[in-house]
Structure 1
Amino acid sequence: MSFTLYGAAGSGSVPVEAAMTLIGLDYRVIEAVTWEGEAEREKVAAANPMRQIPALITPEGDTITESAAILIWLADTYPQARLGPAPGDPRRAQFLRWMIFIPASIYSLFWVRDVPSRLVGDDVGAQEELKRRTAERIADCWRVMDEQITPGRFLMGDEPGVLDLYVAVASRWTPRRARFYAEAPRMSEIVRRVDALPSLQQFWAKRFPFEDEA
């Protein structure tokens, strides 16, 4: 039996897809570009009443939502893939800290950015100001993370893991890689390594092509 993942190219489902690819799991993606309208969001409704992606259905029929939760679950459920520190590992606390920091401080702001009118109505000027301020907030969060994390060759040591995949994808969203490189020079070296992983070259080309990194 295989996994079913509700997701979209270039979205928060991509690190989950990348992790499952590295593990070698059999999965299919139901494409649901939820930021493009109600019809797309409705595709996800049966799996996630919030109508958000990613949503993972396990072979046993369990539903897991929230990208960080799915990534942590995959790392813990398939320890042979060595995608995250196991419970009891001295790195575990920092792993959990940063896995939750990304959705709490960065990813959550895209709910606002995708449809600014949710918070500021139809005022175009207010919408643009909201986008500007949230972009600055995201950049500042990357700077804070870069200053406080102590990476090795990858963020949690010498091997790539789900945290690396999460950062590599999220750092390509607004304010995009050029700003990320400026704010987070230590993590920049690591995301470039993740971009270049031979085991993910075909995957990146299909699910998040490197076409415009400005």
Structure 2
Amino acid sequence: MGMVFTLYGATGSGSVPVEATLRLIGLDYRVVEAPTWEGEAERDKVAAVNPMRQVPALVTPGGEVVTESAAILIWLTDAHPQARLSPTLDDPRRAQFLRWMSFIPASIYSMFWVRDEPSRLGGDDPKAQAEIQQRTLDRIAACWRMMDSQVTPGRFLLGEEMTVLDLSVAVASRWTPRRRRFYAEAPGMAEVVRRVDALPALQDFWAERFPFDDGWEG
């Protein structure tokens, strides 16, 4: 009792891979629901633990705060190697694991800060905002295409064992431009994300935290 993590996150957001990882490891946690894209009140929920007012933010049972999705996932899996959700330090897959775990937030996730509120860079000009949204969509698609050209999956992205990289890609590939475009741009990774979607251990979790509603593929 008392050894409970607190995760600031939201349904369908970048906190979903973190929550899935907590479940797969078997850690006790509670979620503070904070869809920060819905406005200041939601962002204010997170401000006390993350001055950037972004999710995910994880508070450990000891009160330490960890932010940034990739950092949280790497830290959790390194701290619980028995779950086998990341390559160990001496595993030959480790370098590529770190490469792609960094690539997703840096090159793809970051685009949504602009895309979700194009006025941040485009001001009040509707044409500029529309152009930003189209260009960020194309940039996300190009990044998936580049990643696909650089990985050679087995059952999962780094081989036969699933890692949190697979969870990250499975979630992020459901965001704009959504899965149909992802399948077209990244055919080599398509079967992997479908395999993650279908994992028996996560079926109840997906239904609760990122449901496969009608038309979800785009």
2:203 to 198, 201, 204: 201
User: Given the alignment, which residue of 89, 92, 95 partners 1:93?
Assistant: 95
- The answer to whether the Cα contact below 8 Å between 2:166 and 2:193 also exists between their aligned partners in 1 is yes
Of 15, 18, 22 in structure 1, the residue corresponding to residue 17 of structure 2 is 15
Of the three residues 62, 72, 75, the one matched with 2:74 is: 72
In structure 2, how many angstroms separate the alpha carbons of the residues matched to 1:167 and 1:145? 11
Question: Per-residue displacement from partner, 1:170-203 (whole Å, max 9, x unpaired)?
Answer: 0000000000000001110000000000000000
Distance 1:12 1:153 in 2: 23
Percent pairwise identity: 75
Partner of 1:33: 35
Match of 2:57 in 1: 55
CA–CA distance in structure 2, aligned partners of residues 81 and 164 of structure 1: 14
The unaligned stretches of length 5 or more in structure 2 are none
Partner of 2:187: 185
Among residues 154, 157, 180, which one is paired with 2:156 in the alignment?
154
Q: Distance in 2 between matches of 1:33 and 1:64?
A: 18
- 2:45 corresponding residue in structure 1: 43
Size of the aligned set, in residue pairs, is 214
User: Is contact 1:84-1:156 (8 Å) kept?
Assistant: no
Q: Distance in 2 between matches of 1:23 and 1:29?
A: 16
Q: Secondary structure at the match of 1:59?
A: coil
Paired residue for 1:213? 217
Q: Secondary structure at the match of 2:47?
A: coil
TM-score (norm 1): 0.99
- How far apart, in 2, do the equivalents of 1:165 and 1:10 lie? 12
Within a 5 Å distance, the mapping from 1:167-182 to structure 2 comes to 167-182=169-184
- AA matched with 1:14: V
What secondary structure is seen at the aligned counterpart in 2 of 1:200?
helix
Deviations 1:111-168 (A, max 9, x none): 0011110111011111111000000000000000001012211012212110000000
Letter in 1 for 2:217: E
Q: Give every structure 1 segment of 4 or more consecutive aligned residues whose post-TM-superposition deviation is greater than 2 Å.
A: none
Check conservation: 2:34, 2:43, Cα contact below 8 A: yes
For structure 1, list consecutive stretches of 5 or more residues without a partner in the other structure. Answer: none
